[in-house]
Structure 1
Amino acid sequence: MRVLSTFTSLFGLAVSVRADGNTTQLGLIRKASDPQVPPTYPIGVPKEPFAKTAGQLFNINGTVGYFAGTNAWWLGHLTKNEDVDKAMQQIADTKYKIVRVWGFGDINSGFRPTADTADPLRVWFQQHPAPNDTEANQVALINYSPENGLPRLDYVVSTAERLGLKLVLPFVNNWADLGGMASYASAYGGADASVSFNFFENDRAQRVYRDYIRVLVERYRSSPAIFSWQLCNEPRCEGCDPAVIYNWAANISAYIKQPDMDPHHMVSLGDEGWFGANAGYREANNASSLAYESHGGVDFWGNLNISTLDYGTFHLYPSTWGYSFSWGNRWIEQHADAGNRAKKPVVLEEYGSPQRNDHSTVLLPWQQVVLNTSIAADQVWQFGPANLSFDVTKMGDEFSVYADAADFVTVSQKHAQAMLDKKVVM
Structure 2
Amino acid sequence: MTCPSTSRAATAWSTTTPRHLHSILLLATMASPDAEEEWAAVERRGAHLVTATAAGEEIPFIIHGFNTYWLMSFAADDATRPRVTAAIAEAAAAGLNVCRTWAFADGGYRALQTAPFCYDEEVFQALDFVVSEARRHKMRLILSLCNNWEDYGGKAQYVRWGNEAAGLDLTSDDEFFSDPTIKSYYKAFVEAVLTRINTITNVAYKDDPTILAWELINEPRCSSDPSGDTLQTWIEEMASYVKSIDPVHLLEIGVEGFYGPSTPELLGINPDDYSGNAGTDFIRNHQAMGIDLASVHIYSDTWLPDSKEENHLEFVNSWMQQHIDDAANLLGMPIMIGEFGLSLKDGKFDSGFRETFMETVYNNFLSSWEGGVIGGGCLLWQLFPEGAEHMDDGYAVFIAKSPATLNVLENHSRRLDS
In the alignment, what sits opposite 2:148? 174
Contact 1:272 1:314 (C-alpha < 8 Å) held by counterparts = yes
8 Å contact 1:353–1:362 — kept in the other structure?
yes
Residue in 2 that maps onto 1:5: none
Specify whether residues 185 and 46 from structure 1 end up closer, same or farther in structure 2 by C-alpha distance, changes over 3 A only: farther
CA positional deviation for 1:320: 1.2
C-alpha contact 1:221 1:262 (8 A) present in aligned 2: yes
More helix by share: 2
Identity, in percent, stands at: 24
Indicate the residue corresponding to 2:73 in structure 1. Answer: 77
Q: TM-score, normalised by structure 2?
A: 0.78
Amino acid at match of 1:264: V
* Alpha-carbon separation, structure 2, partners of 1:264 and 1:196: 31
Distance 1:281 1:413, change over 3 A: farther
Task: Compute the displacement of 1:31 (Å).
Answer: 8.4
**Amino acid across the alignment from 1:412:** L
1:330 aligns with 2:318: yes
Q: Partner amino acid for 2:336? A: V
5 Å-filtered alignment, 1:219-298, equals 219=196, 220-240=205-225, 241-258=227-244, 261-279=245-263, 282=266, 288-291=272-275, 293=276, 295-298=277-280
Q: 1:278 to 1:153 in 2, by over 3 A?
A: same
> Which of 159, 162, 167 pairs up with 2:136?
162
The amino acid that maps onto 2:273 is S
One-letter identity of the residue aligned with 1:126:
Q
Report the alpha carbon displacement of residue 29 of structure 1 after superposing the two structures with TM.
Answer: 5.0
Residue of 331, 337, 340 corresponding to 1:348? 337
- The residue type equivalent to 2:388 in the other structure is V
How many angstroms apart in 1 are the aligned matches of 2:416 and 2:251? 23
Shift in alpha-carbon separation, 1:30–1:101, aligned structure 2, 3 A: closer
- Match for residue 188 of structure 2 among 202, 211, 217: 211
Q: Please report how far the alpha carbon of residue 191 of structure 1 lies from its aligned counterpart in structure 2 after TM superposition.
A: 7.3
User: Partner of 1:349: helix, strand, or coil?
Assistant: strand
Partner of 2:14: none
1:364 is matched with: 359
Q: Kindly indicate whether residue 112 of structure 2 is the aligned counterpart of residue 125 of structure 1.
A: yes
Q: Does the C-alpha gap of structure 1 residues 202 and 74 become closer, same or farther in structure 2, counting only changes over 3 Å?
A: same
* Mapped contact 2:327–2:335 kept (Cα < 8 A): yes
Aligned to 1:99, what secondary structure does the other structure show? strand
Cα distance, 1:186–1:29 mapped onto 2, change above 3 Å? closer
| Residue aligned with 2:135, SS | helix
Aligned partner letter, 1:222: D
Residues 88 and 160, structure 1, Cα contact 8 Å, conserved in 2? yes
Of 154, 157, 166, the residue aligned with 1:183 is 157
Q: What's the secondary structure of 2:207's corresponding residue?
A: coil
- Cα deviation for residue 307 of structure 1 reads 2.3
Match of 2:391 among 391, 395, 419: 395
The letter of the residue matching 2:324 is: A
Secondary structure of the residue that 2:186 maps to in structure 1?
Answer: helix
For 2:403, give the aligned amino acid.
Answer: A
Q: SS of 1:76's equivalent?
A: helix
Say whether the 8 Å CA contact 1:257–1:308 is kept in structure 2: yes
| Shift in alpha-carbon separation, 1:287–1:196, aligned structure 2, 3 A | closer
Tell me by how many angstroms 1:192 deviates.
Answer: 5.7
Cα offset, 1:45, TM superposition: 8.4
Matched, 1:91 2:117: no
Q: Which runs of 5+ in 2 are unaligned?
A: 8-34, 54-58, 197-204, 306-310, 369-373
* Compared CA separation, residues 408 and 140, structure 1 to 2 (3 A): same
Shift of 1:64: 0.9
> Residue type matched to 2:190 in 1?
I
Map 1:8-27 onto structure 2 (within 5 A): none
TM-score (norm: length of structure 1): 0.76
**Helix, strand or coil for the counterpart of 1:237?**
coil
- SS of 2:262's equivalent? helix
Structure 1 residue 307 corresponds to structure 2 residue 296? no
What are the Cα deviations for residues 293-345 of structure 1, in whole angstroms up to 9, with x where unaligned?
A: 2x421101011212211111010101211264121110000110111112111
Q: CA shift at 1:215, angstroms? A: 0.4
Task: Give me the whole-angstrom Cα distance separating, in 1, the residues matched to 2:5 and 2:270.
Answer: 59
Measured after TM superposition, the shift of residue 87 of structure 1 is 1.6
Match of 1:68 in 2: 64
Aligned residues: 351
1:82, CA displacement in angstroms? Answer: 2.6
AA partner of residue 105 (structure 1): A
Helix, strand or coil at the partner of 1:257: helix
* Cα separation, partners in 2 of 1:283 and 1:248, compared to 1, 3 Å: closer
State whether structure 2 residue 124 is matched by structure 1 residue 143: no
Q: What are structure 1's unaligned runs of at least 5 residues?
A: 1-15, 17-26, 33-43, 112-121, 129-138, 422-426
When residues 127 and 276 of structure 1 are mapped into structure 2, their CA distance, relative to the original with a 3 A threshold, is same
Tell me the equivalent position of 1:24: none
Q: Distance in 1 between matches of 2:271 and 2:6?
A: 57
2:25 corresponding residue in structure 1? none
Aligned to 1:316: 298
Change over 3 Å in CA distance of 1:275–1:197 after alignment to 2: closer
Q: 1:222 to 1:410 in 2, by over 3 A?
A: same
Residue 344 of structure 1: SS of its match in structure 2?
coil
